[in-house]
Structure 1
């Protein structure tokens, strides 16, 4: 029974959940250590004033909320549809 439920819940939920975890991880890294972006790419596009880091943090926040909501919707949709099929 558990295996069939897991198979039914895979699909889009796994993709959305993976994106949510990835964006939340990079968001946390940006909040804790903003210079990781400059260290990774080896340049300072904002001349070291931090504007670029806050812009990326804002985008990551929005992306985390959006893909998290998409994962939740996918979870609810698949859970509801799997309950109706039984």
Structure 2
């Protein structure tokens, strides 16, 4: 998703103004680049969290169904 937002912002730097008919950054494109940066860093953080969760050892003995 961050890659898609990046590509859209490269091709259409003031897409927020055109889609939502508001002008928060006076057609500078700054808000769009902030959104791209936030989406990129969120993707990196979530990828690292998923990687650490994937590598975390599992406790297969606890909470197994059928055991008392």
State the TM-score, normalized to the length of structure 2.
Answer: 0.65
Residue 32 (structure 2) aligns with: 53
Provide the aligned length of Structure 1 versus Structure 2: 56
Compute the RMSD of aligned alpha carbons: 2.2
Q: Looking at secondary structure, tell me which structure has more helix per residue.
A: 1
For structure 1, list consecutive stretches of 5 or more residues without a partner in the other structure.
1-24
Relative contact order, higher structure (CA 8 A, sep 6+): 1
Q: 1:81 maps to what in 2?
A: 58
Moved over 4 A (4+): none
CA displacement, residues 17-40 of structure 1 (integer Å, 9 cap, x when unaligned):
xxxxxxxx1x1222111258511x
Gaps in structure 2 of 5+ consecutive residues: 62-68
* Alignment partners' CA distance in 2, 1:44 and 1:76: 45
